[in-house]
Amino acid sequence: MIFGIAKGSEPVEYRKFGARQDEAAARFSESAEIIRQAWSDEPIHFHGEFYHCENINVLPKPAQRPHPPIWVGATRNEATFSWAGKMDYDLMTVPFVHPSPGALHELVKIYRRSLAEAGHDFVRRDVLGKFHIYVSDSFERGLREAAPFMKNYSDLHHAADPERKLTERDIGADMARGFIVVGDPERCTDTIRRWHEEAGITTFSGTFQFGGMPQELALKNIRLFAEQVMPALEHL
């Protein structure tokens, strides 16, 4: 098992839970510490600003010792990138919220610098980027086929919180610049390689069905990626 945690970044998430966003970082770090203690062989003894646990033993213990790998979601907040490095966790991020691959790379450097300063291995830790991916036989056809579903996805996000947008760019610009991986297999391969080289992403997560995309299009997308993009990335 791989264990992923994140504190959320959208104000609407906090409003709907009746929570204060300015308390999120502290609650997040305290929760992570309690979970790690719960997985250890000792009872939980924790007294923080928000949580208090005394002599609580959680069973069963995880099969992976001392605990499963932990991945931390981070998007715009430098402090989260730094905290993930300090704690020696792997990193997950969403590249399309950033203005450029270079901007994301600066945050990844903060993460790796924090790993090094805390005495952890700063080379082999992974940085995962999550992308919407649509493989077709050309960029123009991919844009034509995928854009309506990306618009649906974006519209639903905007409807949930009208004060926030996923990015300040339009969908066509996101696709043309590679923030959404779209096009023929060669273009998709090159886009993924560029994010690896320019932003320091080591692991790629793909969303292949989005915005109400019909199953037949999603299956075609997945097959083309598996057959024509993945083999070209074997030695990434």
| 78-128 confidence digits (pLDDT tens) | 999 999 999 999 999 999 888 888 899 999 999 999 999 999 999 889 999
Residue 183 inside a domain? The answer is: yes
Q: What tens digit of pLDDT does each residue of 35-54 get?
A: 999 999 999 999 999 999 99
d(CA 228, CA 184): 9
Q: Where are the alpha helices (DSSP H) in 40-180?
A: 78-86, 101-117, 139-160, 171-176
Going from the C-alpha of 118 to that of each of 42, 67, 83, the distances in angstroms are 24, 20, 10
DSSP letter, residue 178: T
Residue 21 inside a domain? The answer is: no
- Percentage of the chain beyond pLDDT 90 is 78
pLDDT given at position 170 = 85
d(CA 46, CA 37): 9
pLDDT given at position 141 = 95
Tell me which residue range forms the domain holding 84: 69-233
Residue 139 inside a domain? The answer is: yes
Number of domains the chain contains: 1
Residue 222 inside a domain? The answer is: yes
Residue 178 inside a domain? The answer is: yes
Tokens of 126: 């992974």
pLDDT given at position 35 = 96
> How far is it between the farthest Cα atoms of the chain?
61
Q: Chain centroid to CA 59: how far?
A: 30
The CATH number for 207's domain is 3.20.20.30
Q: What tens digit of pLDDT does each residue of 178-193 get?
A: 999 999 999 999 999 9
Three-class SS state of 130 = strand
CB 25 within 8 A of CB 78: no
d(CA 58, CA 207): 35
d(CA 219, CA 216): 5
Residue 88 inside a domain? The answer is: yes
**Span 194-198, mean pLDDT?**
94
Residue 51 inside a domain? The answer is: no
pLDDT given at position 12 = 84
**Number of other CB atoms surrounding residue 148 within 10 Å:** 13
pLDDT band at residue 235 using 50, 70 and 90 as cut-offs: confident
pLDDT band at residue 32 using 50, 70 and 90 as cut-offs: very high
Q: Chain centroid to CA 165: how far?
A: 17
d(CA 101, CA 96): 9
Backbone angles phi, psi at 197, to 5 degrees: -80, -40
Look at 21-25, 216-220, 228-232 and tell me which has the smallest mean pLDDT. 21-25
